[in-house]
Amino acid sequence: MNKKRVLILCTGNSCRSHMAEGILRAAASDLFEVHSAGSNPAGYVHPEAIAALDEIGIDLSGHTSKHMDEFLNRDIHTVITVCGNADQACPVYPGQVNRYHWGFFDPAKAVGSESEIKQSFRDIRDQIKLVFEAYAAGVQEGSAS
């Protein structure tokens, strides 16, 4: 059985989309082939995003920032945007059946002390974890795809 491909998009593909990709892979790697990309990739994965997921046992250290056009010739079943800019820029992908938009604050834009910025990444990680684990559970129960 071929796994359905899920593509998670944000603008920079440096924080939110990578956190969501890692969390969804951990929650449902038996159901999906999960990827992330950006409409204007930053060219790196934010070190605080890597650290925030490492705290919950998910390794993003091998992830790279990719442009969403790299997936135009791939059979993408579901597109999930995690920021408004990517939602507006998102093309329709071959085979695309579902499209969801779940927006989250960009923790890369957080200001404050080092500990406050780290906490912003943790907060967004926890919000993403809640939403994407619920999505995976719904798919496993057969109520979504």
Report pLDDT for 134.
95
Indicate if 10 belongs to the active site: yes
Give just the sign of the alpha carbon dihedral 28, 62, 48, 43: negative
Q: Which domain range does residue 101 map to?
A: 4-140
Q: How far is CA 87 from the centre of its chain?
A: 13
Based on its alpha-carbon atoms, the radius of gyration of the chain, rounded to whole angstroms, reads 14
* Residue with token string 């440096």: 14
Q: Let me know if residue 49 belongs to a domain.
A: yes
Q: Let me know if residue 10 belongs to a domain.
A: yes
Report pLDDT for 1.
55
Q: Let me know if residue 34 belongs to a domain.
A: yes
Q: Let me know if residue 36 belongs to a domain.
A: yes
Report pLDDT for 140.
82
Active-site entry in 9, 10, 60, 76: 10
Distance CA 142, CA 144 (A): 6
pLDDT tens digits in sequence order for the chain, 145 residues long: 578 899 999 988 999 999 999 999 999 988 899 999 998 999 999 999 999 999 999 999 999 999 999 998 888 999 999 987 765 666 677 677 888 999 999 999 999 999 999 999 999 999 999 999 999 999 888 755 5
Q: pTM of the prediction?
A: 0.91
Report pLDDT for 118.
97
Report pLDDT for 89.
66
Active-site entry in 52, 90, 124, 139: 90
Q: H or E stretch including 81?
A: strand 78-81
Indicate if 15 belongs to the active site: no
Active-site entry in 83, 86, 128, 136: 83
Q: What CATH number is given to the structural domain containing 16?
A: 3.40.50.2300
Q: Let me know if residue 14 belongs to a domain.
A: yes
Report pLDDT for 62.
95
Report pLDDT for 145.
52
Identify the burial level of 6 via C-beta atoms within 10 angstroms of its C-beta, where 0-12 means exposed, 13-18 middle and 19 or more buried: buried
Report pLDDT for 65.
95
Q: Let me know if residue 145 belongs to a domain.
A: no
Number of independent structural domains in the chain: 1
